[in-house]
Amino acid sequence: MAGIFYFKCTLNGWWDFRIKQKKAAKCHFKEVFMKRIFQKLKNHLTAKPEVKLATYRSYGTPGHLYLLGRALDDDKLKMHENQSIFRTLVNTYKQFDSYEISGAEIALQLPNGTVLTTKTNKAGYFLFDKTSSVNLKEHADEEGWVPLKVAYVNEVKNSIITHDNDFDAELLIPPLTARFGVISDIDDTILQTGVTSFLKWRVLHNSLFKKAHSRISLEGSPDFYQDLHAGKEGKEQNPVFYLSNSPWNLYEYLKLFLELNNFPKGAILLRDFRNPFDRSLKPEKPHKQKEIINILKTYPKLKFILIGDSGEHDPRIYTDIAAQYPDRILVIYLRSVNHRKRMARVQSIVDEFKTVPVLSVETLEEAEEHARENGFIS
């Protein structure tokens, strides 16, 4: 009996020891886990923000460059095909909740090593609109794109510059083979946005809840634009310029949409985001009108095809520009939108305007037929 009693006591002692050991291990795990959580939170709250330079596809000539970019926090956007609605919302939030860096000195390195500098404005934007002593065309690829580099000149206070302070940029110089250029609206011309919807609720829905991978181009758009880019001879490499009233915050989103849907690579020209409390003076000319005139002045020997929609202001802006530059605009294609009053108003503009051909089309097949008949495409 004494042996059994001793065995039970030993077993109970061992069992109590194991329970205490497990409890101690559990407490230690909780302690380590909580320390890690608090350390991560502390690191997040005290960490230096990471910053980058965002550059936007632009255009130029062999002796003049026009490059826009922005100094801001590195949001590390991850736009995946299978991302959830929550991730799409997070991406949208990140694109608009940006931290801009004003007064930063930015250096632009040309292909031959020449360095130009400028400073960012209060919204973080920087612009190189300068004459170049370098023949940029000599450094362009066969499509006319010139690779460039931009960097911060100095360290950014209390921040970490990502990408080893080495950011890519590119500039389009139309090749000599180009016979004409294409200037196209994006919103409701090649991408369904819903700008004519009541209170523009479709614009909000499409921008907030739809990822770039699920946005479908309007039927026939990519093929038609590729045909215009190739031209009648098939190798003209006619330059394409994409315009939108969307803010620069959506640049990466729209760029990805164009790439996924196989549109020809081109300059993307958006505008600064104005909030309801912005009391600064508005530009004298609408964004699209200003950009189109800049392009016409940059390439005085090149004629252009204008493509837009009948939904907002494209018909009036395009015909006003054609009236100012009648020998520079080959044709205006306006895609019809499902809005009876707007269509009636647009049709009156089309009927009255005789300076250059204006076609209001239901589908791009009608525009393709006209382009083929007039030798713009094969």
> What is the average per-residue pLDDT within 175-183?
97
Please say whether the beta carbons of 58 and 267 come within 8 A. Answer: yes
Rounded to the nearest 5 percent, the helix, strand and coil shares of the chain are: 40, 25, 35
Residues with Cβ within 8 Å of 171's Cβ and at least 6 positions away in sequence, in order, are: 57, 58, 59, 60, 65, 66, 67, 136, 145, 146, 148
Question: What tens digit of pLDDT does each residue of 126-175 get?
Answer: 999 999 889 999 999 999 999 999 999 999 999 999 999 999 999 999 99
**Looking up tokens 């003076």, which residue turns up?**
281
* Band of residue 49 on the pLDDT scale cut at 50, 70, 90: confident
Confidence of residue 202 (pLDDT cuts 50, 70, 90): very low
Segment 286-305 shows an average pLDDT of 95
CA 98 to chain centre: 15
Task: Write the pLDDT tens digit of every residue in 320-371.
Answer: 999 999 999 999 999 886 655 556 677 777 788 989 999 988 888 899 999 9
Q: Which residues contact 290 (CB under 8 A, 6 or more apart)?
A: 283
Q: How far apart are CA 2 and CA 134, in angstroms?
A: 102
Give which of 148, 139, 137 is closest to 176, Cα–Cα: 137
Instruction: Indicate if the pLDDT at residue 196 is higher than 60.
Output: no
pLDDT computed for residue 251 by the predictor:
92
pLDDT, one tens digit per residue, over 257-274 is 899 889 999 999 999 855
Mean pLDDT of 239-244: 96
Architecture of the domain defined by 50-172: Sandwich (2.60)
pLDDT at res. 310? 83
Strands 115-119 and 125-131: unpaired
pLDDT above 80 (res 85): no
| Cβ-defined contacts of 19-26 (< 8 Å, 24+) | none
Say if CB 248 and CB 121 are below 8 A apart: no
SS (H, E, C) 174-199: CCCCCCEEEEEECECCCECCCCCCHH
What pLDDT, on the 0 to 100 scale, is given for residue 115?
95
Q: Which two tokens stand for residue 32?
A: 């380590």
Question: Tell me, what's the pLDDT at 220?
Answer: 67
Q: What is the mean pLDDT of the chain?
A: 80
Kindly state the percentage of the chain with pLDDT values over 90: 53
Domain assignments of the chain as residue spans, ordered by start: 50-172, 180-274+282-373
Termini Cα distance of the chain = 106
Name the phi and psi angles at 118, rounded to 5. -155, 175
Least confident of 7-16, 190-199, 203-212, 215-224: 203-212
Question: How far is the C-alpha of 185 from the C-alpha of 225, rounded, in Å?
Answer: 12
Say if 50-172 and 180-274+282-373 have the same CATH topology: no
Counting Cα atoms < 13 Å in the Cβ hemisphere of 319 gives 20
Q: Domain 180-274+282-373 belongs to what topology?
A: Rossmann fold (3.40.50)
* Cα separation, 71 vs 98, whole angstroms: 10
> For residue 163, what is the DSSP state?
G
Q: How far is residue 14's CA from residue 36's CA, in Å, rounded to a whole number? A: 33
pLDDT at residue 47, rounded to an integer: 67
Give the residue ranges of DSSP H helices in 47-164: 85-96
Regarding predicted confidence, which is higher, 38 or 360? 360
With cut-offs at 50, 70 and 90, classify the pLDDT of residue 373: very high
What's the average model confidence in pLDDT over 31-53? 66
Element (DSSP H or E) covering residue 331: strand 329-335
**Residues 145, 142: Cα–Cα separation, whole Å:** 8
Q: Is it the case that residue 302 has pLDDT exceeding 50?
A: yes
Give the mean model confidence (pLDDT) for residues 270-279. Answer: 58
335 within 8 A of 309, measured Cβ to Cβ? yes
